[in-house]
Each structure stands twice: as C-alpha cells, then as structure tokens.
Amino acid sequence: MSRLICVVGARPNFMKIAPVIEAIRGQAPNIKIRLVHTGQHYDASMKQQFFEQLAIPEPDIDLEVGSGSHSVQTAEIMKRFEPVLLEWQADAVLVVGDVNSTIACALVAAKNNVPVIHVEAGLRSCDRSMPEEINRILTDQLSDRLYITEREAAQNLEREGICADRVCFVGNVMIDTLRKHLQKAEPVTKTLADAGFGQTVPSEYALLTLHRPSNVDTKEALQSLLETLQQVGRHLPIIFPIHPRTAARIKEFGLSELINNPAIYCLEPVGYLQMLGLMANAKMVLTDSGGIQEETTALGVPCVTLRENTERPITVTQGTNVIVGSDHEKILNAVLDIMETGGRAGRIPELWDGQAALRIAQDLQQWFDRHV
Ligand code: UD1
C-alpha cells in the first residue's frame, strides 16, 4: 500500500481534485489517499457547496489557515502542513493548480524529501507580477511528476530545465468535472430566483467574474472596470457573482453605486452547478479567471478575458477566448463584436475529453511502482 496526500485549498482546486481522487480510487486502489484542506478558502460559498456538489470526500484534516497576506498565508500553511506530512509518512504529495496552498505544500514536501506530483503543470503567463505565476514556476521546479493540460506547457517546462521524462500530457481534469456535471447544471432562472431576482430574468446576458488583484486591489483599476461594465450593461444585462475579495474592495473604495444598476444582477459567490448553468447559457463571459477561460472554451461560449495575458494560450489559439485587458474601448469593442457576430466558434483542445484523471491514475500507478 502506498500513501498519497492530496492537497486542496482554494475554490479552483476543488473541481480539479474531484476527478483525480475518484480515478485513483477506481484505477489504483493500492494508493491510499488522505485529503488535506488547507482552509485557504473557508466560507461555505467558497468551499462547502463545492465539496457537496462535486462529491469530494470530507478532508481528513482542515488546517484552517484562513486569509492573510500571501507570505503569511503561505508560511502558515507550511507550518501547519509539515507535522501532518510527517505523521502520515506520505510516500508522495499531490497538488493541483497554482494557488498559495499549492506552492506551500509542495515546498514542505520537497524539504522533507517527499516526491511532489503536480496536476496542471507548465502553464505560464510570463507575468511575474501575478502571484499565481510565481506559484506555478516554483511548484514545477519542485515536482517529480508533472501532468500537463496542453502540449505547449512541455516547452515552457523544457525552457526552465525540467527534464522531459518527468512530464506527462494527460489533458484537463477540470474539463472532466465539467463534462460529468453538465447535465446537472442548475437552470439560470433557479439561480436568479434563489438570489431574489424571480421576476426579471434576462433572456440574454453576459456573465461576469472579477477577482484578480491587478483588477480589484486598487481603486483606480476597479473603478475604471466597473464604469466600463456599466456601459456594457446598456447593451446586454450582466450577471455578476461577486468574489469576497472583490466585494470587500468595492465596499472599501466606496464604489457600490457603480454596481447598483438594474442591468447588473449582483449575486453572492455561486456553487459549481449554478456557475455551470450560468456559463453554459451566457451570450458571453467576461472574466479574469484562469479556469473560466478553459471552461468557456470547452462549452463553446465566447470569453472576453479582462487581463493583459493568459497562461492558457490554447483557449485563444483553439478556443473561444479573446484577451482584451482592462482598456475601456477594447472591452466594449469585443462585447459589441460578439453581439454582432456571435464570437469565435473555437474547437475542443486535444485530450480535453473527460478522461484526463483516468490517465493520471494509470500513470501514477506505474510511477508509484517504479519510485516508491
Ligand atoms: C485565490 C487564488 C487565485 C484563485 C482564487 C479563486 C492565490 C494566490 N490566489 O485568490 O489563484 O483564482 O483563489 O477564488 O492562491 N475570502 C473570504 N472567504 C473565503 C476566502 C477568501 O472572505 O472563503 C476573502 C478574504 O477577504 C481574503 C480574500 O477573499 O483576504 C482573498 O482570498 P485569498 O485566498 O487570499 O485569495 P483569492 O483572491 O481568493
């Protein structure tokens, strides 16, 4: 029996770990999994509803680290994770994505000579002002087995001196989750009714998500974006589930009036099935999220990315994504273009077929046989 610790911490980790755990349990029963939740995201709206909807097993331990500056949060996760790693005598630690929990636990494992497995390795925005870019580069340097979602990621890793025989192209586990749950997506009418908008459901809408520090952490950037979105609202209603970070900044900067607009439907953060329903039925999605760029490509829904770059270039070269940054004109033009033309059709990238976790489980079994 081999022992594997799987780590989750923040919302975008949950849809990635769910199929991986299920596939390892099904395909590699000799690998015994313990699940650690760092507690980076702790609100029910950011955590519990995802565990329930995605049937993720209850974590064996919750480190309850909570919020803090990036350094404090990362350090606190490390302090709390190390004794757990040692007590459980894990043979390997599996981390997903690029959040602070990912790098913190990878670093603890590497410092204790425990091999690190990274799911969603090799993505690069080449923008080091993005906290996730730092997490991605460092986690990959520490990893012994790296599972990639698109072929270009292998070139990024090669450039950084990571040995090709550690890298394995498996596809995209987040799309496994999307495919599995699409039929169960919550109708938009229900999501809006639950949020108190029963009578006024728009037939067409843009879905908006916003939470990147570069967009929301200064008054200037946030105000400018919200003003642009008010203009978008004149052409197309907007449904806006608001991330806690963004909600806090809107309040702190005194910008609440800018979202107090009948064309903008403001919601609390929604669950996975609600989000899937909102995305699948949207005329377009405006976002600064990484995962949503991929999910819209898989759904064939036009995506307007409110960032200057992306670590997921395949969503642009093959999918439905356009990168517009935060420029007022560029955003409005992209929105109007999609309204007029329907946007880019795109195609589904290679191996985004719902079987990525299965490939990981099969490869991992062999890897454990060789290395543990
Ligand atoms: C984190 C990830 C980001 C991911 C995002 C998805 C890092 C560096 N960033 O950003 O990559 O796209 O999650 O949501 O790891 N808060 C709550 N309740 C919660 C969690 C957070 O109110 O359950 C608030 C707190 O005020 C906190 C703020 O949100 O300070 C930011 O949370 P944090 O975990 O630091 O980063 P995110 O912005 O969520």
Q: Determine the Cα–Cα distance for residues 246 and 340; give it in Å rounded to an integer.
A: 30
State whether 54 and 24 are in the same domain. Answer: yes
- Report yes or no on 127 lying in a domain: yes
Q: What is the pLDDT of residues 126-146, one digit of tens each?
A: 999 999 999 999 999 999 999
- Total domains, the chain: 2
Q: Determine the Cα–Cα distance for residues 364 and 30; give it in Å rounded to an integer.
A: 11
State whether 251 and 149 are in the same domain. Answer: no
State whether 122 and 152 are in the same domain. Answer: yes
- CB 12 less than 6 A from any atom of ligand 1: yes
State whether 20 and 99 are in the same domain. Answer: yes
Residues identified as active-site: 211
State whether 311 and 365 are in the same domain. Answer: no
- CB 119 less than 6 A from any atom of ligand 1: no
C-alpha 18 – ligand 1 centre gap (Å) = 20
**How many CB atoms within 10 Å of residue 346?**
21
**Mutation choice for ligand 1 from 70, 96, 99, CB with most ligand atoms inside 8 A:** 99
Please report the pLDDT score of residue 372 as a whole number: 83
Please report the pLDDT score of residue 259 as a whole number: 97
State whether 313 and 223 are in the same domain. Answer: yes
- CB 336 less than 6 A from any atom of ligand 1: no
Give the residue from 228, 193, 198, 195 showing the smallest Cα distance to 210: 228
Report the CATH number at residue 360: 3.40.50.2000
Residue numbers of the chain with a pLDDT score lower than 50: none
Residue 319 sits in which domain range?
A: 186-341
- CB 118 less than 6 A from any atom of ligand 1: no
Please report the pLDDT score of residue 199 as a whole number: 72
User: Contact 2/11 with Cβ under 8 angstroms?
Assistant: no
Please report the pLDDT score of residue 356 as a whole number: 98
Ligand 1 atom, smallest distance to 46 CA: 23
State whether 151 and 203 are in the same domain. Answer: no
